[in-house]
Amino acid sequence: MNALWITPVVTNTPGFVTGAGFPDWAYHGYWADDFLSLDPRFGSENDFKALVEACHARGIRVLLDVVYNHAGYESKYTKDPKTRGWFRTNEKGDCGTDDVTSCVAGLPDFRTENPEVAKYLLDAQIGWARRLGVDGFRLDTVKHVAHDFWTEHRKRTRDEVGKGFFLLGEVWGGDPQVLDPWFERDEMDAGFDFAFQGNALAFVEGRGRALAFDRYLKSREKVRSGYLLSHFLSSHDVPGGLFQLGGNVALFRLAAVLQMTTAGIPTIYYGEEVARAGGDWPDNRSDMPWGDENVLPGKGLPRDEALRADYVRLVAIRKAHPALRRGTHEGLFTTGDGYAFLRRDPGSKSAVAVAVNRGATPVTVTFPAPPEWSGTAPKDLFGGLAASLSEGSVSITLPPHGAAILAPGV
């Protein structure tokens, strides 16, 4: 795709901590100890700038993950007399019961309603954006910080970094309705679609009718105009998609086809493109498998290069066809284990059909050819399967767990 989302890079709590109820380490970036310094494990600021420049040279934008809601367990901020009053903590017993004042997972909760606290955090994170040259933020724990903060955040990023500075927010349980309060106030550009993973995995496993899944995909169009959903199959907060499918790569490949042919911002979580299982926590944050590459950690861990090749093909198809990135959804075939839908983009007058077979036996899918095809027989852009066009009807036979992405032949 064209953006790289990077974990938080500020210095985290050193050594192991027990605030989560068991010994753990802040290896993931979400338990900050110093918002003004870069974690030395990532190198220097110059190293980061070089990474951003290398990405930009390749047409890749960079999103930096930032946390405003909390600091790390045992953070220095909670011990410094100048800053320990900035928090609600379990130790003080002043954590609230609502989203904004609760102490998520027992973490020290910033009193972001305090202007001094808000200014410190905004100055720190926006300062990173200016110095490092990133193109946007991935916002952690959005619903645990009040709307007034996010309104000011949006204003400052636009004023100080750039009008196009992109904000992708994590609102737990996000879908078009859940995310709309933040979109309505224009506090961010996009939000994670937490509903997609469960619906897509259930469908490919054969749970529920194709018609129900088609209605779900159609419902994603309800997102407010001008804003986007970011749909994923795995993340650092939920068990990985391949793990949930019991390691069945064929079914996961089907889910990836559905993800990459659906409107919004498909988020590929590191390693799932080479079949890193990504189990339940903490295995969903395990080492990247590098195979024969001399990269530690992860050297020698197996990679599924055939699956990676499928992802490369899917990304290229998505880039080449605007209808897959935007536009409307229309169900075409919802019988048994076969399913087909049409992606239509009125702006480019293009239409692409997607057909999948979640079953263990071949399925023949038929549907009316869209008028945009002008009577031209379609080609399968994904797997090269043969499709026929006769009397205005398209027919294609899909092998077990097979998929096709159909557009007019050229």
HEC string of the chain? CCEEEECCCEEECCCEECCCCCCEECCCCCCEEEEEEECHHHCCHHHHHHHHHHHHHCCCEEEEEECCCECCCCCHHHCCCCCHHHEECCCCCCCCCCCCCCCHHHCCEECCCCHHHHHHHHHHHHHHHHHHCCCEEEECCHHHCCHHHHHHHHHHHHHHCCCCCEEEECCCCCCHHHHHHHHHCCCCCEEEECHHHHHHHHHHCCCCCHHHHHHHHHHHHHCCCCCEEEEECCCCCCCCHHHHCCCCHHHHHHHHHHHHCCCCCCECCCCHHHCCCCCCCCHHHCCCCCECCCCCCCECCCCCHHHHHHHHHHHHHHHHCHHHHCCEEEEEECCCCEEEEEEEECCCCEEEEEEEECCCCCEEEEEECCHHHCCCCEEECCCCCCEEEECCEEEEEECCCCEEEEEECC
Q: What is the structure's pLDDT at 25?
A: 81
Do residues 235 and 343 share a domain? no
Each residue's pLDDT expressed in tens, for the chain with a length of 410 residues: 599 999 999 999 988 887 777 677 888 889 999 999 999 989 999 999 999 999 999 999 999 999 999 999 999 999 999 999 999 999 999 999 999 999 999 999 999 999 999 999 999 999 999 999 999 999 999 999 999 999 999 999 999 999 999 999 999 999 999 999 999 999 999 999 999 999 999 999 999 999 999 999 999 999 999 999 999 999 999 999 999 999 999 999 999 999 999 999 999 999 999 999 888 888 899 999 999 999 999 999 999 999 999 999 999 999 999 999 998 999 999 999 999 999 999 888 899 999 999 999 999 999 999 999 999 999 999 999 999 999 999 999 999 999 999 999 75
pTM: 0.96
CATH number (domain holding residue 210): 3.20.20.80
Please check whether residues 320 and 298 belong to one and the same domain: yes
Residue 277 has a CB neighbour count (10 Å cut-off) of 22
Give pLDDT, residue 410.
58
- Examine the fold and report which residue of 325, 343, 368 is the final residue of a domain before the chain moves on: 325
Predicted local confidence at residue 278, as pLDDT: 87
Residues 163 and 134 in one domain: yes
Q: Which pLDDT value is given to residue 232?
A: 98
Q: Are residues 350 and 310 in the same domain?
A: no
Tell me, yes or no, whether 40 and 143 share the same domain: yes
Query: Where a domain ends, among 325, 347, 371?
Result: 325
Q: Which residues pair with 233 in a beta bridge?
A: none
What pLDDT, on a 0 to 100 scale, did the predictor assign at position 348? 81
Residues 183 and 282 in one domain: yes
Give yes or no: residues 94 and 224 share one domain. yes
CATH of the domain at 340: 2.60.40.1180
Q: Are residues 300 and 403 in the same domain?
A: no
Q: Are residues 315 and 360 in the same domain?
A: no
Burial bucket for residue 331 (CB in 10 Å: 0-12, 13-18, 19+): middle
Give the position of tokens 């959903």. Answer: 229
Domain range for 158: 3-325
- 53 and 161 assigned to the same domain: yes
End of a domain among 271, 306, 325?
325
pLDDT, residue 1, reads: 55
Please report the pLDDT score of residue 26 as a whole number: 82
pLDDT at 254: 98
Q: Are both 382 and 306 inside the same structural domain?
A: no
Task: Tell me, yes or no, whether 268 and 376 share the same domain.
Answer: no
Number of domains in the chain: 2
